[in-house]
Amino acid sequence: MTVPFSGADGRDQHSRIHTRSTPGFLERLSETTGGMLVGVALFFLSFYVLFTNEGRAIHTSSSLDEGLSQIVSLHPDTYVDSKNNNRLIHLSAPLRTSQPLYDPNYKVAVQAVKLKRSVEMYQWVEYQDTREYKEGDETKTETTYTYNTEWKSEVVNSRHFDKEIGHMNPSAMAVESVTVVAPEVWLGQFFLSKGLIDQINNFQTLSLGGLPFTDPFLTVYENYFYHTGNPRRPEVGDVRVRFSYAGLSGEGYSPGPAQTVSVVAMQKGDNLVPFRTQSGGMLEILYLEELTAEEVFAREHQLNNMKTWALRLAGWLLMFLGISLTTRIVYTLVDWVPVLRDLVSVGLKLFALCLSCCLSLLTIAVGWLFYRPLLAGLIGALALLPIIIARLGALSKKQK
């Protein structure tokens, strides 16, 4: 059933209500069994995430320590010295490119490492808001569809709308988004590798205020090129284009001074390339500011620690969800008894929380076992502490 109406703010809206019978016990049990299979998969995936994360963290830390012990810092004006060939070097200097990047369609030029053309089209967008409620023995789902017009960087397929009539979008962009990269980038006397260039992503919007502009089919407004005569009242299908740049590298066509960056990589002739450590890690680091070698490696250690803890949290969450889904069948068996259902729900959540914490700590301890035996033992003891306390409590009650 469809119910059309207008929202309080005048937006185009309508609702659709679907009705279904409340599922019986066997149907709910079947759905729970499917959830159990997903839970088992998440449970074992959590062990893989937690265990491999510890090995990754240790290898990364070892690679960084090894790199810092071998680093050679060079002055920006130092010429290429063959004695540093295949050695890990640190260099801080302004970026340089041979010529400005140019977009012939919009007559835009800038001396930078990257020039990005971002295109947006004014389109219809559908939003859904769903709520469920029960009426007698039936479960009803009410979905409210709201349609707005917005600037979007991707084509919104209106064929998937619940109500396409009156909300049709073009099937393609009139202009494509593109990013142009300088073919050669220097730092001091060295060429940067593709991996280092890929790390230059400090994009800033290019101001169009001072650019010469004579195209009668375009309108410049708030640093956008509009393919419409009235940018304040666009129509569906209108396009606007914005330019941004990353890594300023010269003075001729540059809105500012050249970007100074700090690089840690291996010297190979006059190229800076990845450096493989004995620990198996790859060092190819770039920061968009002037840093000493010690500061670069300190930042990398900090990032490694943040990533390690983020993956630990993700691994624990996967384990908690896996245990919760696997034990959900117990709740399904008693969900027809209101009081018992609530108690079982709380108990299962506490069980999943305690078990996931203990198993996560044990998995982390195993990951550290071959690298930090003492720390692994302490983590293992902490993980077993709830079990030991429970056993001691049981023995105490038994003696009484």
DSSP secondary structure letters along 156-206: --GGGSS--TT----SS-SS--EEEE-S-EEETTEEEPHHHHHT----EEP
Tell me, what's the pLDDT at 300?
A: 96
C-alpha closest to that of 246 among 278, 307, 288, 298: 288
Torsion sign, CA atoms 192, 196, 202, 204: positive
| Among 242, 258, 291, residue at a domain's last position | 291
Q: How large is the average pLDDT for residues 100-127?
A: 94
88-97 and 72-74 as β-strands: parallel, antiparallel, unpaired? parallel
pLDDT band at 19 (very low <50, low <70, confident <90, very high): low
Q: Do 220 and 258 belong to one domain? A: yes
Q: Do 233 and 313 belong to one domain? A: no
Domain membership of residue 86 (yes or no) is yes
pLDDT band at 7 (very low <50, low <70, confident <90, very high): very low
Instruction: Please check whether residue 120 is in contact with residue 240, taking contact to mean a CB–CB distance below 8 angstroms.
Output: yes
Domain membership of residue 76 (yes or no) is yes
- Total domains, the chain: 2
Domain membership of residue 9 (yes or no) is no
| Among 265, 291, 317, residue at a domain's last position | 291
| Among 235, 262, 291, residue at a domain's last position | 291
Range with top average pLDDT, 18-22, 176-180, 364-368: 176-180
Domain membership of residue 246 (yes or no) is yes
Tell me, what's the pLDDT at 20?
A: 59
What's the count of helices (H) and strands (E) in the chain, helices before strands? 6, 20
C-alpha to C-alpha distance for 360 and 368, rounded to whole angstroms: 13
Domain membership of residue 176 (yes or no) is yes
Q: Do 156 and 96 belong to one domain? A: yes
pLDDT digits (tens, 9 = 90+) for 323-361: 888 887 766 666 655 666 667 777 778 888 888 898 998
Q: Provide the mean pLDDT of the chain.
A: 85
Q: Do 324 and 267 belong to one domain? A: no
Domain membership of residue 6 (yes or no) is no
**Predicted confidence (pLDDT) at residue 183 exceeds the cutoff of 70:** yes
Domain membership of residue 336 (yes or no) is yes
Tell me, what's the pLDDT at 150?
A: 95
Q: Do 116 and 242 belong to one domain? A: yes
**Predicted confidence (pLDDT) at residue 157 exceeds the cutoff of 60:** yes
Range of the domain at 237: 71-124+146-291
pLDDT digits (tens, 9 = 90+) for 56-111: 998 999 999 999 999 999 988 878 888 989 999 999 999 999 899 999 989 899 99
Report the amino acid identity of residue 182. A
**Predicted confidence (pLDDT) at residue 161 exceeds the cutoff of 80:** yes
pLDDT digits (tens, 9 = 90+) for 190-246: 999 999 999 999 999 999 876 666 667 788 888 999 998 889 999 999 999 999 999
Question: Which residue would you say has higher pLDDT here, 326 or 268?
Answer: 268
Instruction: Please check whether residue 92 is in contact with residue 121, taking contact to mean a CB–CB distance below 8 angstroms.
Output: no
Tell me, what's the pLDDT at 28?
A: 57
Domain membership of residue 1 (yes or no) is no
Helix (H) / strand (E) element for 234: namely none
Place of tokens 């119910």: 3
Tell me, what's the pLDDT at 27?
A: 56
Q: Do 89 and 184 belong to one domain? A: yes
Helices (H), the chain: 25-70, 194-198, 293-326, 328-334, 338-369, 373-399
Tell me, what's the pLDDT at 25?
A: 47
CA distances in angstroms from 355 to 316, 321, 351, 390, listed in the order given: 10, 11, 6, 13
Tell me, what's the pLDDT at 311?
A: 95
Secondary structure class of 286 (helix, strand, coil): strand
Q: Do 357 and 391 belong to one domain? A: yes
Tell me, what's the pLDDT at 30?
A: 59
Tell me, what's the pLDDT at 255?
A: 84
Tell me, what's the pLDDT at 371?
A: 64
Q: Which residues contact 25 (CB under 8 A, 6 or more apart)?
A: 336
Question: Which residue would you say has higher pLDDT here, 327 or 138?
Answer: 327
**Predicted confidence (pLDDT) at residue 148 exceeds the cutoff of 90:** yes
Tell me, what's the pLDDT at 9?
A: 47
Burial of 35 (0-12, 13-18, 19+ CB in 10 A): middle
C-alpha closest to that of 350 among 305, 303, 386: 386
